[in-house]
Amino acid sequence: MEQRTASAADRRTGADRARSNGPERPDGTVVRPPDATDARRRVPRTDRLLSDPRLIAAVHRLGATVVKSAVREAQQRAREGTVPPERVPETALALLPGTASGLRPVINATGVLLHTNLGRAPLSAAARQAVQEAAGPTDVELDLTAGVRARRGRSALGALRERVPSAGDVHVVNNGAAALVLAATALATGREIVVSRGEMVEIGDGFRLPDLLVSTGARLREVGTTNRTTAADYAAVLGPETAFVLKVHPSNFRITGFTRSAETAELTGLGVPVVVDIGSGLLAPHPALPGEPDADTQLRAGASLVTASGDKLLGGPQCGLLLGDRDLVRTLARHPLARALRVDKLTLAALEATLSGPPTPTALALAADPAALRARAGRIAERLAAAGIDARPVECAATVGGGGAPGLTLPSAAVSLPEPYAAVLRTGPVPVVGRLESGRCLLDLRAVPGQDDERLAEAVRAARPAGEGPA
């Protein structure tokens, strides 16, 4: 009897075995179906996830490609077991960027007010609002009353003229270097520009002023020495081939000691235009920046043209400013190259709001009270220390940056943290960029608006490096 039972079991068909255990491989082993409790079987399908109202809204905000990428990443994490299947929708939402752009907003705690790597001047709330409103159709080049073409960006140019009444006219191009290139191209192609050897500067990322000017077809005539140049040095080389005299503010370095440079007023009687590149965009004297040249002072001293950047001490968007003699500025504005260098409506909107609106973040940072900064640092450090973090308030020194006020320091205060925090903070959900000093990570508050103190503290609490004990 037992023998017959065994024989019957042996005679079961492959189909029977497949139904009970799974398909059979050629070697006779059985492939068992996945366990119904396997988490991978419970990962939501893509079409189901994309029907979630929250992800539908994200598609409208960020685009389908970005959202689908986040969904796939969340599903993969669930398959790997790092995320519970039921948390896939929330994980996908958490993976979504704040905007469709790859640029990430950061908190600038470097102590450099105009940090080039962080985009220089942060825009004011008024300028940001102006950019948002200008993003749609605008009257940037249309007279709505007459229904005819009008001067491009006329209200922004009018605001710039109001801020610098000593300028006969003004023009705006896409950055400070472009302003100088336009002047050199329109006035000096095939002719000479006279410039001091001590002002042949190199600007950011390896770009050198002499190379920039020569690329326009102008020739450079160097005068004086590295440390001393007088008005007589300029006068000695002027001739029929001279297009203009150029004065360049050495904005990112200082030469001290036995030095001499000719002032603008000394050069204005030489019979040729004087072009002054002040670099940092200060429109009028500032009490915190006693050695920084400004547009108004240079024009009143007789400069024919002043060029500057808009995204530095002015606190506006990236652009190049040209201010000066009315006929000269209009000649530059009508040059064919001006079309290639013109700014868009968003820049014009941000510039106008910067010029006519409330104080910019840069202006507020320059005027910050050191005592108030120390008090803020103390409050933040106290809260972090209560959470078990080695945080201490310290006094420190900030700088202007962006080529402005070289050598000048501004008294400031910072929250001092262990060095490992620097890298963790940079890569956190809210990136915070500080600086390393004496083996500690300093979060300098000079360029951090007071309303960001809680965000800063929360970023630190969330960024506890590996190996640091819990609170």
User: What is the share, in percent, of the chain residues with pLDDT greater than 90?
Assistant: 77
What type of residue sits at position 238?
Answer: L
Which of 1-5, 397-401, 403-407 is predicted least confidently?
1-5
Asked if pLDDT for residue 12 goes beyond 60, the answer is no
Q: What is the DSSP letter of 123?
A: P
Which tokens sit at 417?
Answer: 């943290």
Task: Give the pLDDT score at 454.
Answer: 97
Per-residue pLDDT band for 6 (boundaries 50, 70, 90) equals very low
Give the whole-angstrom CA distance, residue 183 versus residue 195: 14
The closest alpha carbon to 444, from 461, 432, 427, 431, belongs to 432
pLDDT tens figures, 358-367 = 999 999 999 9
Which tokens sit at 79?
Answer: 């398959």
Asked if pLDDT for residue 471 goes beyond 50, the answer is no
Contact 330, 305 (CB under 8 A): no
Contact 337, 185 (CB under 8 A): yes
pLDDT tens figures, 42-90 = 899 999 999 999 999 999 999 999 999 999 999 999 999 999 999 999 9
Per-residue pLDDT band for 11 (boundaries 50, 70, 90) equals very low
Q: 253: alpha, beta or left, given left = phi > 0 and alpha = psi -120 to 50?
A: beta
The closest alpha carbon to 179, from 264, 302, 306, 330, belongs to 306
Which of 187-196, 199-208, 298-307, 406-415 is predicted least confidently?
199-208
> Across the strands, what pairs with 221?
194
Query: Most distant CA pair in the chain: distance in Å?
Result: 128
What type of residue sits at position 52?
Answer: D
Give the whole-angstrom CA distance, residue 133 versus residue 130: 5
Give the whole-angstrom CA distance, residue 127 versus residue 310: 13
Burial class (CB in 10 A: 0-12, 13-18, 19+), 104: exposed
How many CB atoms are closer than 10 A to CB 244?
Answer: 22
Backbone phi and psi for residue 377, each to the nearest 5 degrees, phi listed first: -60, -40
Which tokens sit at 33?
Answer: 């179906």
Which tokens sit at 58?
Answer: 């994200």
What rounded mean pLDDT belongs to the chain?
90
Compute the residue count for the chain. Answer: 471
Q: What is the mean pLDDT of residues 306-329?
A: 97
The closest alpha carbon to 361, from 291, 293, 311, 307, belongs to 311
Per-residue pLDDT band for 385 (boundaries 50, 70, 90) equals very high
pLDDT tens figures, 176-219 = 999 999 999 999 999 999 999 988 887 767 778 889 999 999 99
The closest alpha carbon to 406, from 181, 252, 236, belongs to 252
Give the whole-angstrom CA distance, residue 223 versus residue 221: 7
Give the whole-angstrom CA distance, residue 443 versus residue 450: 13
The 3-state secondary structure of 30-76 reads: ECCCCCCCCHHHHCCCHHHHCCCHHHHHHHHHHCHHHHHHHHHHHHH
What DSSP element (H or E) covers 157?
Answer: helix 154-163
pLDDT tens figures, 35-44 = 545 667 889 9
Strands 148-149 and 142-143: antiparallel
The closest alpha carbon to 121, from 357, 358, 402, 405, belongs to 402
Per-residue pLDDT band for 279 (boundaries 50, 70, 90) equals confident
Asked if pLDDT for residue 223 goes beyond 60, the answer is yes
Backbone phi and psi for residue 368, each to the nearest 5 degrees, phi listed first: -60, 140
> Across the strands, what pairs with 401?
404
The closest alpha carbon to 183, from 325, 312, 355, belongs to 325
Contact 49, 92 (CB under 8 A): yes
Task: Give the pLDDT score at 403.
Answer: 78
Question: Edge-to-edge, what's the strand order for the sheet holding 169-173?
Answer: 169-173, 320-324, 305-309, 274-279, 242-248, 192-196, 219-223
Radius of gyration of the chain (CA): 32
pLDDT tens figures, 86-140 = 999 999 999 998 888 888 999 999 999 999 999 999 999 999 999 999 999 999 9
Which tokens sit at 16?
Answer: 């029977």
Give the whole-angstrom CA distance, residue 192 versus residue 177: 18
